[in-house]
Amino acid sequence: MTEVVSGVETHNGGAVATPHEVAPEAFQRRILAAADAGARVVAYYGEGHAPHVTLTAVLADDRSGRLEILRSRVDGPSLPSLTPQLTELHLFEREVFERNGLEPLGHPWLKPVRFTRDGDVVGVTDYYRVEGEGVHEVGVGPIHAGIIEPGHFRFQCHGETVFHLEISLGYQHRGVEGGILRGPTKRVLHLVETAAGDTTIAHTLAHCEAREALAGTRVPARAQAIRAVALELERLANHVGDLGALAGDVAFLPTASYCGRIRGELLNLTAALCGNRFGRGLVVPGGVAFDVADPAELVERLAVIERDATGAVDLLWSTPAVRSRFEETGGVATATAQELGLVGVAARASGVAVDVRSDHPTGMYRLAHIPMSVATSGDVYARASVRWLECARSFAFVREQLTALPRGPVRVPLGPLEPASLVVALSEGWRGEVAHVVRTDAAGGLASYRILDPSFHNWSGLAMALRSEAISDFPLCNKSFNLSYCGYDL
């Protein structure tokens, strides 16, 4: 008879005393049992270096809104891999091997994640190869034709059909997490803002909520409303930009041109909030750094933007040539999305209903609910239409918040952090779930800081979407995911 261990239960943004470490066997059994019961792995990381590694796993039960934190100390060079039973751990285990040297025995494909070990050269590794008559290999990147981030994509093709796509990243590894731990404190916020530059608000929000939870600070209602407005504006700008870029990828010019402009207008709204188009400097621990002076003016500008965006995007849906390109391209089945642990737009487009704003709400989202937008077909069309559904709901949400902003201060001072505690803060960025896992030491300083960008979960979704797809449709599929390289590389 084996003992039944369960982790410490908490919720999004709820600080708990650092959980006790359990035996590795119990730790692994519990993860598998929780996953069997429908839990999702939010984070799984190690501290220290083999032969002494402390593993932390964060599991989310999306139906009840509960998070479970498990910690275990592993003494030894290796641990049996859980990936064969639980696919969504494949990248986490590779990362623990790369960072902490703890080898997952029996991992099916133990490759580098970011090439950070001594002697690693980014991009130099064994790639999966398909051999045979008519099979050819196409390598794209890390230097691309457009002005985009570096990443290497290797296709195993037969004619125009892709058998297998392997994505190799790590070119942008900057050591964000290490930088946050080293301090100084003033630099930390800047590092968080640029963890993934297009997701500034979502990352700073998770970061600040984590610190506020550890300090026991309650953020004023007005600040919470402004934060939610900024998060939705970030979503709107990126979703509208993506819809335009999707149109551009199939050479449908009208929507591409209009959405490019409208994205700029939405970024300007964020600039009206804080002076920066990407929301840098807006969200700070304890609230927001800037109050909204004239919400009515923002509502007016938003109405014009909404009208223009609706016109431009409706053109997309009403053009059969566009729909025929989007439909049945780059499909990800619901089961695959679940197995890989996809999050955000990519998961919802494949029928996996996960959304931090609904499942684990914090701040203003506890009071003002945003309905979840879900599609089932999992193709480019589904990812595009989920984006547009979310836009419509975000427009309504921002309008509602700005017309009824709570009164009061927008910032309160932050106290010292609770020592020996751990907190998980989630926010729903425009790509999906952003998670920051923070642990403090006995003196109340930062002991570990882990950032998970939605891209970390979702790149393997793109690789699966390309199976048996035409290689000429890769750019379109890639755009429909539009994942972050630097958010993955950190």
Query: Would you give the binding string for another protein spanning residues 140-179, x where CB under 8 A is met?
Result: x----xx------------xx-------------------
User: What part of residues 240-279 is at the interface with another protein (CB under 8 A)?
Assistant: 247, 249-254, 256-258, 261
Return the number of the residue (36 or 137) whose C-beta is nearest another protein. 137
Q: Of the listed pieces 92-100, 276-284, 452-460, 468-476, which binds another protein according to CB under 8 A?
A: 468-476
Burial readout 54-86 (b: 16 or more C-beta within 10 A, e: otherwise): bbbbbbbbbeeebbbbbbbbbeeeebebbbeeb
Closest CA to 337 of 481, 442, 139: 481
Can you tell me which of 49, 63, 117, 136 binds another protein, judged by CB under 8 A?
A: 136
Return the number of the residue (476 or 486) whose C-beta is nearest another protein. 476
CB 317, min distance to another protein, A: 12
Let me know: does 337 contact 347? Beta carbons within 8 Å: yes
Can you tell me which of 319, 368, 392, 412 binds another protein, judged by CB under 8 A?
A: 319
139 is a site residue for another protein (CB under 8 A)? yes
406 is a site residue for another protein (CB under 8 A)? no
CB 311, min distance to another protein, A: 11
Spatial distance between the Cα atoms of 396 and 2, rounded to a whole number of angstroms = 52
Residue type (1 letter), 320: P
Return the number of the residue (329 or 440) whose C-beta is nearest another protein. 329
Can you tell me which of 121, 321, 413, 442 binds another protein, judged by CB under 8 A?
A: 321
37 burial via Cβ count (<10 Å: 0-12, 13-18, 19+): exposed
CB 333, min distance to another protein, A: 21
Q: Of the listed pieces 25-33, 136-144, 210-218, 367-375, which binds another protein according to CB under 8 A?
A: 136-144
Spatial distance between the Cα atoms of 287 and 227, rounded to a whole number of angstroms = 8
CB 260, min distance to another protein, A: 9
CB 471, min distance to another protein, A: 6
| Residue whose token pair is 């609770």 | 418
Return the number of the residue (136 or 366) whose C-beta is nearest another protein. 136
CB 255, min distance to another protein, A: 9
* Beta bridge mates, 59: 41, 68
| Residue whose token pair is 């009824």 | 404
459 burial via Cβ count (<10 Å: 0-12, 13-18, 19+): buried
CB 253, min distance to another protein, A: 5
Q: Of the listed pieces 64-72, 84-92, 130-138, 446-454, which binds another protein according to CB under 8 A?
A: 130-138
The neighbour count for residue 131, using CB atoms within 10 Å, is 7
H helix runs in 147-199, sequence order: 176-182, 185-193
Return the number of the residue (249 or 453) whose C-beta is nearest another protein. 249
DSSP 314-325: HHHHH-HHHHHH
Let me know: does 37 contact 57? Beta carbons within 8 Å: no
Angle between helices 221-249 and 295-318 (to 10 degrees): 30
- Report CA-CA distances (Å) from 75 to 26, 47, 52, 176, 233: 14, 12, 5, 27, 47
Can you tell me which of 85, 324, 376, 468 binds another protein, judged by CB under 8 A?
A: 324
322 is a site residue for another protein (CB under 8 A)? yes
**Which H or E run contains 424?**
strand 421-428
137 is a site residue for another protein (CB under 8 A)? yes
DSSP 276-311: -TT-TTTEETTEESS--S-HHHHHHHHHHHHHHHHH
Return the number of the residue (77 or 139) whose C-beta is nearest another protein. 139
Spatial distance between the Cα atoms of 212 and 416, rounded to a whole number of angstroms = 9
CB 476, min distance to another protein, A: 8
42 is a site residue for another protein (CB under 8 A)? no
**Which H or E run contains 54?**
strand 52-61
Can you tell me which of 473, 482, 485, 486 binds another protein, judged by CB under 8 A?
A: 473
8 is a site residue for another protein (CB under 8 A)? no
CB 470, min distance to another protein, A: 6
136 burial via Cβ count (<10 Å: 0-12, 13-18, 19+): exposed
CA 326, 154, 481, 151 dihedral sign is: negative
CB 172, min distance to another protein, A: 20
Q: Of the listed pieces 55-63, 296-304, 337-345, 469-477, which binds another protein according to CB under 8 A?
A: 469-477
CB 262, min distance to another protein, A: 11
Q: Kindly give, in sequence order, each residue whose CB lies less than 8 Å from that of residue 346, ignoring residues fewer than 6 positions away.
A: 332, 337, 383, 431, 432, 458, 461, 481
CB 464, min distance to another protein, A: 18
129 is a site residue for another protein (CB under 8 A)? no
Positions touching another protein (CB under 8 A) are 136-140, 145-146, 159-160, 247, 249-254, 256-258, 261, 319, 321-322, 324-325, 329, 470-476
